[in-house]
Amino acid sequence: MAFLVAVPLPGPPILRRLHFTTTTTTRASAAKTDPLPEELQLVADLRTPHNHIRVADVSRRATGHPLAGARLLLLDGPGNIHSVSFPRCPLTRTYLDVFAALPPLLPRPSLAVLGFGAGSAARALLHFYPDLSVHGWELDPSVIAVARDFFGLADLEKSHADRLLVHVGDALEVEAVPGGFGGVLVDLFANGSVLPELQEAATWRRIGGMVARGGTVMVNCGGGCVEAEEEGRDGEAVKDATLRAMAAAFGDGMVAMMDVDESWVAVTGPAVGAPEEAAAAWKARLPPQLRQYVDVWRPYNGNR
């Protein structure tokens, strides 16, 4: 199946709404761009200096597909999913829902989201936790523009103007706020892979410096399901290197991990889920839809 590739035009990127699923055009760059599966209908397509951005809807008739009826934000050539939105539902049925289980562990009700995407994590966080404030950072202003046009971010910002602040800028250059955030969510990718800086312990030490005493960092480490544009940058190997860097920065026994449909999520702090009383207290503060994520963490010890 062929699909539309937007050819770069002079001036700022131009967002185009599409009323058809497939077409063919000349490649705009040397980066690999994969065709969309048949169950996806392309809604918008643009290229920026940072991304190849596509918005696609999963057909409601895609029987058995876990994301049937959802809208997806696809970034980079391979089209890895970076945000998911279902009508009238704050959850995504993906690893992003694990992020929404974090607030009960925080020493203060504030979160920094590094790699905001279209705001899927923020939507769930604001829905379930009325006292939580969310600060999001996204490098590409066009991603935020797409989020406002196609994922309801503009309405979310209006409805939660006192609790949601979206910043355009480099998430790795964020200055620590006085007292620190209660926690930090990290979902940073480029060219279809977890940022190379996240395989360095020094980066995690800087991110750890953003959180308040007793605060927590939760991370999407990718995995085998993530396809990079750069040959040889294997998703599993990058995930393992990211976990090693986190362990080097936060210390032995201070990183736990879990697998959500081949996407690996890690969290810092004492091993999550132990002792049993701590797990029970965490569950009690979660909505029922998120309690399943408490018991599946396991300590990272350098091995899978």
Give the pairing type, strands 110-114 and 133-138: parallel
pLDDT at 22 over 50: no
Which pLDDT score, from 0 to 100, does residue 283 have? 93
Q: How confident is the model at residue 77, as a pLDDT?
A: 73
> Which domains are present in the chain?
16-85 (no CATH), 96-299 (3.40.50.150)
Distance between CA 153 and CA 304 in Å, rounded? 37
Confidence check: pLDDT of 1 > 80: no
Give dist(CA 146, CA 85) in Å, integer: 13
CA distance 33 to 95: 24
C-alpha dihedral sign at 34, 68, 139, 107: negative
pTM for this one? Answer: 0.85
Write the pLDDT tens digit of every residue in 88-102.
999 999 999 999 999
Q: Across all residues in the chain, what is the average pLDDT?
A: 85
In tens, the pLDDT along 245-302 reads 999 999 988 999 999 878 899 999 876 655 678 889 999 999 999 999 999 999 998 7
Task: State residue 233 phi and psi, 5-degree precision.
Answer: -95, 80
Rg, the chain, Cα only? 19
Q: How far apart are CA 107 and CA 195, in angstroms?
A: 28
pLDDT at 149 over 80: yes
Region 203-229: what's the mean pLDDT?
88
Beta-sheet pairing, 40-47 with 16-17:
antiparallel
